[in-house]
Structure 1
Amino acid sequence: MSAASEAPALAPAGALAPARGHGLSQLDVLESEAIHIIREVVAEFERPVLLFSGGKDSVVVLHLASKAFWPARVPFSLLHVDTGHNFPEVLAFRDATAERLGVRLAVASVQDYIDDGRLLERADGTRNPLQTLPLLDAVAAGRHDAVFGGARRDEDKARAKERILSLRDEFGQWDPRNQRPELWNLYNGRHTVGQHVRVFPISNWTELDVWRYIEREGIELPPLYYAHDREVFARDGMWRAVTPVSLPAPDETVETRRVRYRTVGDMSCTGAVESDAASVAAVVREVTQSTLTERGATRADDRISEAAMEDRKRDGYF
């Protein structure tokens, strides 16, 4: 059971060595920073929302929010942009988590936009780039002035450019040249009507930090993150699952492999990695030895071009 529903320990036993002079582990420092950011944003903004897909990073941010406001409930709602190609196991986990914590969950559907003609299917079948318009519409409809997300700087070059509080203009767009300084943990949330701010509480975390924190806190995740047997086929150097939206070509051989997912995005563009890591501790050991980020290793949509992520962010993608 996730520790999010329990009162936090006053002095949790960190998995890492204490930071010199402070008596805090690296994880304690990262947790404290993230909780400070979440509390500051809730105090400063009127209608924050958390983008929550059921993936590990958004689960960790929700857990941090639960600790930040315990014993009260999380004081903001959740939003998910459902591509229609998400893993069913992850959607089930998403819904169960929102219900368990008593947090309102709103879902914006890419399929609805395709059905009424506001969006068109891409030739490559990938829907991740189609999330931008439903996301911006949902932010506007909810009058959200701050949008929490689980993005981290180590994931991608474009995300490394982000500040922790990142301003979006009236069209939801991001200008990497218009970034505010964030000295001494002071965050500038000023914005005008129509603008909003994207907030990244775990921006300074690494994938390894996330997994060590999951291990320390006993955080529950969708089972896809752990090794399991699955029918897959090789494409572009990745193992792609056989699903209704990701089918092998005639020359691609289906095999049963023991795999796990490092990230759980759209089924049509997310690859698995071969792994025997069936527990959190085993995943921590595996990530410690990895030389590739999870997006670099498993996300085909980020390989469209060198600047694929940055181009999408400029348009309003998270």
Structure 2
Amino acid sequence: MRVAHMSAVSTASTALSTLDLLEAEAIHIIREVVAEFERPVLLFSGGKDSVVVLHLATKAFAPGRVPFPVLHVDTGHNFPEVLRFRDETVARLGLRLEVARVQDYIDDGRLQERADGTRNPLQTLPLLDAIAAGRHDAVFGGARRDEDKARAKERIISLRDEFGQWDPRNQRPELWSLYNGRHTPGQHVRAFPISNWTELDIWRYIEREDIALPPLYFAHEREVYRRGDMWHPVGPFSPPREGEQVEVRTVRYRTVGDMSCTGAVESDAADLASIVAEVARTTITERGATRADDRLSEAAMEDRKKDGYF
């Protein structure tokens, strides 16, 4: 009986938490991709999910440096706070930053501004060109299955064809943590280490690891206006229309992207513990609550992903 009791105590003391298991899985995926592919790259916008993936990569290869560059597709409509954070993080970790700029494509006529003003859907061509220019055969992303129905269909290691396109009907099985990275010249894969995480997992992990984030994730006073059921920021790329009244509200952002299509939520959560509690109570995903581009159609995200979007 004494032996059995000691065994139970030992098992309880060494049990891994949910966050421990998610972290171990993500680090395993990152190491597998780096071992199998020649020129991986990490999509890094300065948003919370890409920040977590980068943090996991630093843990995966500590005490050495992260052995691949980071890539940002800059819409030209990004929040200044996020761009500053991006550059500070890259400098602190000694990483190489590759930037593909949507504005360059508009300036030379390869892309045209949309009537609705949002540039998020315009990121696909610069992204695919940057992948080709860097000869990247694996691209790490911070997508999670709980964000959107289209992302729920995605495999952890997801094949893209010679045109960078994704076929949701041609998915590879992933059994027992075995990932198939086989591809032919011109193809590449997207790798999603935090695919199985939820938004709440992300925030609990950020709190546990004390990970720095751009300040707009925390409650702050900001000039905003109401459009539909979203609070939009006042700025050069998202001006209010006639009849839309500008107000100063205490808000925060659950996700960050193009200023023209990313809304804020009213919140007084000014620290990590408060954000964790707030997210635990919510019943709508962050993209559903704050991303106008995902509301263009029922299949807006899936259509963009088929074309090569994140």
Pairwise TM-score range, normalised by the shorter structure: over 0.9
| Counterpart position of 1:29 | 21
1:164-313 to 2 correspondence within 5 Å? 164-313=156-305
Structure number with bigger Rg: 2
How far is 1:137 from its partner? Answer: 0.1
SS at match of 1:95: helix
How far is 1:185 from its partner? Answer: 0.3
How far is 1:22 from its partner? Answer: 5.9
Matched, 1:84 2:85: no
Counterpart of 1:165 in structure 2: which amino acid?
I
CA–CA distance in structure 1, aligned partners of residues 13 and 77 of structure 2: 48
Counterpart of 2:35 in structure 1: which amino acid?
A
- What are the superposed Cα offsets for residues 255-297 of structure 1, whole Å, 9 maximum, x if unpaired? 0000000001000000000000000000000000000000000
How far is 1:212 from its partner? Answer: 0.2
Of residues 32, 52, 63 in structure 2, which corresponds to 1:60? 52
Judging changes above 3 Å, is the alpha-carbon distance between structure 1 residues 298 and 192 closer, same or farther for their aligned structure 2 residues? same
How far is 1:236 from its partner? Answer: 1.9
Of residues 106, 110, 127 in structure 1, which corresponds to 2:102? 110
When structure 1 is superposed on structure 2, of 20-29 and 95-104 the one drifting more is 20-29
Identity %: 81
How far is 1:249 from its partner? Answer: 1.0
CA–CA distance in structure 2, aligned partners of residues 20 and 38 of structure 1: 28
| Counterpart position of 1:44 | 36
Counterpart of 2:30 in structure 1: which amino acid?
I
- What are the superposed Cα offsets for residues 191-250 of structure 1, whole Å, 9 maximum, x if unpaired? 000000000000000000000000000000000000000000000200000000111111
CA–CA distance in structure 2, aligned partners of residues 105 and 211 of structure 1: 25
Counterpart of 1:106 in structure 2: which amino acid?
E
CA–CA distance in structure 2, aligned partners of residues 232 and 61 of structure 1: 30
| Counterpart position of 1:137 | 129
TM-score (norm 1): 0.93
Of residues 120, 129, 151 in structure 2, which corresponds to 1:159? 151
CA–CA distance in structure 2, aligned partners of residues 22 and 310 of structure 1: 41
| Counterpart position of 1:126 | 118
| Counterpart position of 1:70 | 62
CA–CA distance in structure 2, aligned partners of residues 259 and 64 of structure 1: 28
SS at match of 1:184: coil
The size of the alignment, in residue pairs, is 300
Structure 1 stretches of 4+ with a deviation exceeding 3 A read 19-22
CA–CA distance in structure 2, aligned partners of residues 290 and 61 of structure 1: 23
Counterpart of 2:285 in structure 1: which amino acid?
T
| Counterpart position of 2:142 | 150
Counterpart of 1:23 in structure 2: which amino acid?
A
How far is 1:104 from its partner? Answer: 0.3
How far is 1:24 from its partner? Answer: 0.3
CA–CA distance in structure 2, aligned partners of residues 58 and 176 of structure 1: 23
Judging changes above 3 Å, is the alpha-carbon distance between structure 1 residues 203 and 20 closer, same or farther for their aligned structure 2 residues? farther
SS at match of 1:153: coil
SS at match of 1:243: coil
Unaligned runs of 5+ in 2: 1-10
Counterpart of 2:130 in structure 1: which amino acid?
A
CA–CA distance in structure 2, aligned partners of residues 54 and 206 of structure 1: 18
Counterpart of 2:178 in structure 1: which amino acid?
L
Unaligned runs of 5+ in 1: 1-18
